[in-house]
Amino acid sequence: MMFAFTSTGIKFDKTISHSICPPTIRIQGQPCHRIGSLLPMPGKEPKFAQLYIYETENEVQNRINTMSHYNEIEAHIVSNLQKMLDENNAHAKSFRMARDRLTDTEVHNVRLKLIAEVAALIAGDIDANSNRDIIVETQNGQLQRIHELHCSYLALQYPLLFPYREDGYRPDILHRDTLSGTKRKRNRLTMREWFAYRLQCRPNEGQTLLHSRKLFQQFVAEGYTMIESERLSYVRNNQKKLRVDKFYSLQQSSDAGNTEGLSQGKRIILPSTFVGNPRYMDQLYFDGIAICSHVGFPNLFITFTCNPNWPEIHRLLTPLNLTSIDRPEIISQIFKLKYEQMLSDLTKNHLLGKVVALEFQKRGLPHVHLLLFLHANNKYPSPNDIGHIISAEIPSQEDDPELYKLVQNHMVHGPCGILRPTSPCMKEGKCSQFYPKKFQPITLIDGDGYPVYCRRNIGQTITKNWIIIDNRCIVPYNLKLLKKYQAHINIEWCNQTTSIKYLFKYINKGSDRVTVAIVHDDKGTLPHANTLNDEIKEYLDCRYEPKRLQFHLPGQHSVLYQDHDDIDDLLSNPSISESKFIAWMNINQAFVEGQSLTYSEFVTKFVYNQKQRCWQLMKKGYTIVRLQWVPPTTGELFYLRMMLTISRGPISFEDIRTVDGVEYPTYRETCFAMGFLQDDREFIAAIKEAKDWSSAPYLRNLFVLLLLTGTMNKPEQVWEKTWHWLSDDILYSHCRSSSTPGLHIDDSNMMNLVLLEVEQLLQANQRSLKDYPSMPYPENANLLTHADNGLILSELNFNNEKLRSEFLNLFSQMTSKIYNQIIQVVNKNEGGMFFLYGYGGTGKTFIWKTLATSLRVDNKIVIMVASSGIASLLLPGGRTTHSKLKITIPIFEDSTCNIHQGTQLAELLNEASLIIWDEAPMAHKFFFEALDQSLRDVIKAKSSSDKIFGGKVMVFGGDFRKILPVIPRGSRSDIVNATINSSYLWNHCHVLTLSKNMQETVTFAKWILNIGDGIAGQQNDDYGSIEIPKDLLIIEYDDPLYAIVNSTFPILSHHHTNPEYFQARAILASTNETVQQVNDYILSLILGEQMEYLSADYMDKSETLKSSHFRSLTTEFLNSLTTSGLPNHSIKIKIGSPIMLLRNLDQIQGLCNDTRLIVTRLAKHAIAADIISGKNIGQNVYIPRMSMSPSQSP
């Protein structure tokens, strides 16, 4: 980029660039072009546009010096190009003009203003520039970003491609037929169409761009990101201010006389649908599972990679003296043609057998991943059958020389390993694809469900890169496909349930390396860019697209409306009470064809007419559907979904609740009648066991815990059989409080008092017995809450005198600078965002407590949250962000918090003076952006929508050296891009820094800090070698398990009953397998009888009724699965064992994710334990068996 005026944000990825591979560009975040000042800062070398002004007498050499890795650049070529630009390029002339003016000593402050048509020099101040203006100051260390829609955006970066400063893309370019009067839905050219036009080869035009080799590759890659950036900007800037609320909620609001739409519901943001974003990938995965439930599991997994040496490519490029790397768009076009031909061979000519479906075209040309679902007669069920279509051996050169040559050129892995350690597949000294494989005399299926192909040791060899290799390095292939397409076509057999999840995840994992693709439609012309299906989802003709069916309880369908809509006007629209789900029940009254079908089956034969709001018979085609998944904690909605899998032709909600002529009052009762749900006898037994150990308050906590986890199917039945055990202390406490020894309380009043206690415990967790419709609700329950808002009362429920004393003590110990800066902003009530940055031990928690007490003394509300349950326990009145602020999980770019106008939480946020969020770097930036959007909506101040976080003062804290957001299968750049300092909010943040370590272990803290700062040890290509101090290492040992356990837990057998012994001790491991080994060893050292608890794993019964394919999953198979966030099938425990919770159960009791406990009692259905971490140390709790499901359920 010797002649470029601007810098680019593109970074070349050296870690994946190899001499044998095409050059790769890695783009992180949003690329942009920036331009600096006219002159370099003192002591700095001139760069980019500065080369046109500074020391132009040595300009040629200065330009050559910028390209330090090129030492053979010829000066006369540089000089000629420079002269060419000076004579013809308008931008070059503008900067030369600035150079001449800067020699005039009378001009002290010169700025160059590049606008759409002309360039002008202006002395003195200039008003704020627009997107169409570029203003370059005389000398400034700041870089100015150039907007992508500026017509000179590309010309400034690529002056050799635009030597006459030709305009790039502009939003006002009209289609040619617009001028002729032809009517079009869209008259202006999109950026995608502009780039498509520029990339076409026309015989009557110059070919400079297409022949510019690496510059062309960068131009294409940047064009892709510009198109995506434009679409993202459009979505962000053209969102209507939409709200959503339930139909019945709007009716209640209208009945109460509140008709302002802005006062109801919650803000939503329309999602942006881009290939590769997390929501898109998750939905495709669930769609794939839906296809499996219909046609069975896939049989063949094919990877087809472009061959850059295809004769068609050589015919086009050799006359131009170009290689395949120089013209990626030609490779993509030819690959697309061959790929479509291969699809035809597979689906129409049945080259590998009759295909039922073909799933997932990956957009990352020039390669594609395919899953083939074969007909039942072509499943290749045995290893023998697999061998007929898949080979992993070197063919005989004498018998088939053509195949031998093709295998040699395309189907040899590597070589790698010790034969060639520099191979791209080598990671940490090992092949990431596990080559070379072992010799294998026959094809078989291993215990994990993966094929082990026949690779015989018969002396057959082949030479690749002057290295002799054998069958162990041959990639599985199909003879027919390889001969016809002469490219790398890897084919794998995959018809095993244990491999299905991996395969769908692999295909949907997305790509962080981009190769340009110009895809033509069936007519051979470029498709219009406004056809969103072309950009977002490109399905094959033979592919089934699963539809996601929405459903709802009576009156609870969502209504979408705009901020300023009148609720009465909304309700007067007859169609607002209708929904697609209700229309299905209505049409069942008229159509006999639909009365024998379930909801899912119905949609395979009928299509919904959105305009007429009715269902109509499908004239052609077919589709697969799946009911949208909802978690068990949604109660009746979850049970309604269960019934919809078997209910046929219902005409009303009551019909769905009817089984064998009996109408049940709830959907849950209906599910019991169908045998979908298990009984709750084990939970009754758990409470019965626990009553022999402890008092009634502990039993009430245990019952509330069962409610909070959604474990009981019929909580009212458990309540009826156990409530008298939960009431043992009620009479005694009332006798004492009333000083009436002979007080008598009848059963109905006693039950009401116990219900009041349960309700109080639930309200502490922001839940209520009203959330469980089958449970009785206590009389006079309103006495428990503030007349207006219980949440506000709980935030004001502090002892002011105690707080004042605590504040004076805290304030006397701290530096007041940071405290004063935040308090001043709070008192001004103008809003603001702060980030308190400091590593462990610098006093962040100390400042949190000081800020909270100083404001609470004056009866101001301070909301304190943390990203993890453990961190929240350290804050006075702290909660997790998810529970307090209703942040949705999973989170996406367009998510908002589940905070509705008019709710108690919305009122609490309006009254809050300060919100403190600890351990913020752990959370994804989407969490903060969702809260920002929600606070802008619910805060009632007039200007709240224009201020970040609605004008509230937000103070975040944490250390970026610690754990950053967890991005499953994410790269380093994915993780960095997910942090809070990558959010648009960071531009408004004031960073405050703590640096003084208040802990005693200064030396150790400094060493840890150096590791976090990346300055410990020697760095080498983003990796560092860190020398661990010898006093932290275990050097001499024979048995590593014994050594680490004995070092961490010395004389364990004598101390295992002492909770304090375990409080400051833990062993960390990198894998769950190692954790299991350590746990088993420690358990063997603890004296006492061991109990083994086994999980009861089962598939959702409604799913197994719907699909016979899932009925084949045995209990043994389910027991063998291990997944993150769930315990293994077998857990072995002894009294005295240290254990850790894996989920948040009850934060009031201190039962949070990662809470550590010591087991004190073991029973068949429950365990008792003492908490040994957090602020609830010493508290005894009871943990029952509970239902758990993987976090990524559909």
Instruction: Write out the two tokens for 204.
Output: 């009557």
Reply yes or no on whether the pLDDT at 521 is more than 50: no
pLDDT for 293 equals 63
Contact 894/280 with Cβ under 8 angstroms? no
833-855: average pLDDT: 83
pLDDT for 536 equals 23
Q: How far apart are CA 643 and CA 638, in angstroms?
A: 9
Looking at the DSSP assignment, which residues form a beta bridge with residue 374? 355
Reply yes or no on whether the pLDDT at 334 is more than 80: yes
pLDDT for 835 equals 93
445-452: average pLDDT: 75
Each residue's pLDDT tens digit, 287-309:
666 666 666 677 888 889 889 88
The amino acid present at 1141, given as its one-letter code, is L
Nearest to 115 by CA among 73, 167, 64: 167
Concatenate the DSSP letters of all residues of 744-790 into one string. Answer: ---HHHHHHHHHHHHHHHHHHTT--GGGSTTS---TTGGGGS-SS-H
- What does the CA dihedral 888, 891, 895, 897 come to, rounded to 10 degrees? 30
Look at 265 and 536; give whichever has higher pLDDT: 265
Q: How far apart are CA 562 and CA 626, in angstroms?
A: 30
Look at 56 and 725; give whichever has higher pLDDT: 725
- How many CA within 13 A on the CB side of residue 1150? 22
Nearest to 218 by CA among 157, 276, 156, 137: 157
pLDDT for 784 equals 47
Question: 36: exposed, middle or buried (C-beta count within 10 Å: 0-12, 13-18, 19+)?
Answer: buried
Look at 112 and 184; give whichever has higher pLDDT: 184
pLDDT for 1018 equals 60
Contact 535/528 with Cβ under 8 angstroms? no
Q: How far apart are CA 970 and CA 65, in angstroms?
A: 38
Instruction: Write out the two tokens for 972.
Output: 């380093």
358-378: average pLDDT: 65
Instruction: For strands 33-35 and 144-146, give the pairing.
Output: antiparallel
Judged by average pLDDT, the poorest of 48-57, 76-85, 630-639, 1124-1133 is 48-57
| CA angle in degrees (0–180, nearest 5) for 746-748-749 | 70
Q: Which of 138-142, 620-624, 1060-1064 has the highest mean pLDDT?
A: 1060-1064
- Per-residue pLDDT band for 517 (boundaries 50, 70, 90) equals very low
Contacts with 555 (C-beta within 8 Å, 6 or more apart), sequence order = 246, 247, 248, 251
Reply yes or no on whether the pLDDT at 314 is more than 80: yes
Contacts with 563 (C-beta within 8 Å, 6 or more apart), sequence order = 241, 242, 243, 261, 262
pLDDT for 292 equals 66
Average pLDDT, the chain: 76
pLDDT for 1006 equals 74
Tokens 């950053």 -> residue: 964
The 10 Å Cβ neighbour count of residue 906 is 21
Each residue's pLDDT tens digit, 17-37:
554 555 555 555 556 666 666
User: In 3-state terms, what secondary structure has residue 264?
Assistant: coil
Look at 380 and 543; give whichever has higher pLDDT: 380
Q: How far apart are CA 698 and CA 1168, in angstroms?
A: 10
pLDDT for 312 equals 92
Q: Which of 231-245, 387-401, 564-578, 1028-1042 has the highest mean pLDDT?
A: 387-401
Each residue's pLDDT tens digit, 167-197:
888 888 888 765 555 566 677 888 888 888 8
Q: How far apart are CA 798 and CA 849, in angstroms?
A: 13
Contacts with 412 (C-beta within 8 Å, 6 or more apart), sequence order = 462, 464, 469, 473, 474, 475
Q: Provide the percentage of residues in the chain whose pLDDT is more than 70.
A: 70
635-645: average pLDDT: 85
585-594: average pLDDT: 84
Concatenate the DSSP letters of all residues of 40-80 into one string. Answer: PPTT----GGGGGTTTGGGHHHHHHHH-TT-----HHHHHH
What does each C-alpha distance from 461 to 437, 443, 456, 476, 970 come to in angstroms?
A: 15, 20, 11, 16, 39
Edge-to-edge order in the sheet of strand 1166-1171: 1138-1140, 1156-1162, 1166-1171, 1180-1184
User: In 3-state terms, what secondary structure has residue 188?
Assistant: strand
Nearest to 470 by CA among 462, 480, 479, 478: 462
pLDDT for 708 equals 84
- What does the CA dihedral 114, 120, 121, 123 come to, rounded to 10 degrees? -100
pLDDT for 928 equals 93
Instruction: For strands 444-445 and 426-427, give the pairing.
Output: unpaired
Contact 610/748 with Cβ under 8 angstroms? no
DSSP state letter for 458: S
498-504: average pLDDT: 49
Contact 707/715 with Cβ under 8 angstroms? yes
Looking at the DSSP assignment, which residues form a beta bridge with residue 474? 412
pLDDT for 1146 equals 77
What is the CATH T-level fold of the domain 798-999, as seen in this structure? Rossmann fold (3.40.50)
Q: How far apart are CA 1004 and CA 252, in angstroms?
A: 61
The 10 Å Cβ neighbour count of residue 204 is 4
Looking at the DSSP assignment, which residues form a beta bridge with residue 1144? none
Reply yes or no on whether the pLDDT at 253 is more than 60: yes
Concatenate the DSSP letters of all residues of 933-977 into one string. Answer: HHHHHH--STTGGGSGGGG-EEEEEE-TTS-----TT--HHHHHH
- Per-residue pLDDT band for 258 (boundaries 50, 70, 90) equals low
340-368: average pLDDT: 69
948-970: average pLDDT: 86
Looking at the DSSP assignment, which residues form a beta bridge with residue 227? none
The amino acid present at 211, given as its one-letter code, is H
- Per-residue pLDDT band for 490 (boundaries 50, 70, 90) equals very high
- How many CA within 13 A on the CB side of residue 1147? 25
Nearest to 1049 by CA among 1078, 1072, 1008, 1092: 1078
- How many CA within 13 A on the CB side of residue 212? 18
pLDDT for 540 equals 25
- Per-residue pLDDT band for 926 (boundaries 50, 70, 90) equals very high
Instruction: Considering the chain, tell me which residue range(s) the CATH 3.40.50.300 domain(s) occupy.
Output: 798-999
Q: How far apart are CA 1102 and CA 639, in angstroms?
A: 10
Each residue's pLDDT tens digit, 411-426:
999 888 887 888 888 8
The helix-helix angle for 278-295 and 497-507 (nearest 10°) equals: 150
Contacts with 1077 (C-beta within 8 Å, 6 or more apart), sequence order = 1041
Judged by average pLDDT, the poorest of 812-816, 835-839, 1177-1181 is 812-816
pLDDT for 280 equals 56
pLDDT for 488 equals 92
N-to-C CA span, the chain:
48
Please count the helices (runs of H) and the strands (runs of E) in the chain: 44, 41
pLDDT for 533 equals 30
Task: Output phi, psi for 4, to 5 deg.
Answer: -70, 145
